[in-house]
């Protein structure tokens, strides 16, 4: 842990990129150690993600949650858009089975309920800070200038705006919703000149999406 903190301290880019990369790499281990590992590796990812956020927090000052009416409206509206447009465009194929603890462990079991709670908590509290720091704080600004810390959050750069949003969308099966979402989050950062509102909006969308999946069984969104 001491070595990791020193690397975070010595490199602003490392502090913003390494946690996201570690978090994404762990995704590829889900389901690789038997069907049940789709679930227990997810729990491991969320615990590692939470630990990474704790370790990087002192060195990423912009990673502070901020509440505003724009963040709330964006978070709710983008949840509606994400679900509403889902049937109307071709999507990237999933590389594995849907994340569905009810089908695997049985409906109403303690394990399935605990896993759904953990999933919603992880996508609400862990995913937004890691993703927003990487995509909106680091990559958007780094595409414009390598000394990205000296670029203000409210500077609009059209090429970086489009490329970053497209790359963000490409990491989601619902790629079109992802692209639109990336654009909306970047707009929010530009408008507020800070990252915290995008973290909050991202958390609101993910929380609503998680509740929607748990209530309707639309597991493709997980």
pLDDT of residue 108: 82
Residue ranges of the chain whose pLDDT lies below 70: 1, 94-96
CA dist 151 and 147 (Å) reads 8
pLDDT of residue 95: 60
pLDDT of residue 39: 95
pLDDT of residue 210: 97
Collect all residues with Cβ–Cβ distance below 8 Å to 63 and sequence separation of at least 6. Answer: 53, 56, 57, 129, 132, 133, 137, 195, 196, 199
Within-domain flag for 109: yes
pLDDT of residue 75: 98
Within-domain flag for 38: no
Q: Is 181:82 a contact under the CB 8 Å cutoff?
A: yes
Within-domain flag for 7: no
Within-domain flag for 118: yes
Within-domain flag for 90: yes
List, for residues 114-139, the tens digit of each pLDDT value. Answer: 999 999 999 999 999 999 999 999 99
pLDDT of residue 94: 67
For 155, the domain range is: 63-221
Within-domain flag for 34: no
> Which neighbouring-strand residues pair with 32?
34
Q: Is the whole-model pTM more than 0.85?
A: yes
Within-domain flag for 83: yes
Within-domain flag for 156: yes
pLDDT of residue 71: 98
Query: How many distinct structural domains can be found in the chain?
Result: 1
Tokens at 105, concatenated: 């462990």
């Amino acid at each position: 842990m001491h070595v990791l903190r020193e690397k975070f301290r010595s490199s602003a880019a490392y502090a913003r990129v390494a946690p996201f990369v570690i978090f994404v790499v762990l995704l590829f281990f889900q389901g690789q150690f038997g069907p049940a590992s789709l679930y227990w590796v997810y729990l491991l990812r969320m615990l590692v993600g939470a630990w990474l956020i704790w370790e990087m927090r002192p060195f990423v000052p912009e990673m502070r949650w901020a509440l505003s009416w724009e963040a709330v409206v964006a978070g709710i509206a983008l949840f509606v858009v994400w679900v509403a447009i889902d049937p109307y465009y071709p999507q990237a194929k999933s590389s594995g089975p849907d994340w569905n603890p009810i089908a695997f462990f049985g409906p109403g079991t303690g394990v399935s309920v605990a896993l759904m709670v953990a999933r919603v908590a992880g996508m609400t509290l862990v995913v937004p800070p890691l993703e927003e720091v990487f995509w909106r704080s680091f990559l958007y600004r780094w595409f414009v200038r390598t000394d990205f810390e000296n670029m203000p959050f409210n500077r609009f750069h059209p090429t970086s705006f489009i490329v970053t949003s497209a790359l963000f969308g490409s990491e989601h099966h619902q790629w079109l919703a992802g692209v639109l979402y990336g654009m909306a989050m970047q707009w929010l950062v530009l408008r507020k000149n800070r990252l915290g509102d995008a973290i909050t909006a991202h958390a609101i969308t993910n929380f609503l999406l998680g509740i929607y999946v748990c209530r309707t069984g639309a597991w493709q969104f997980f």
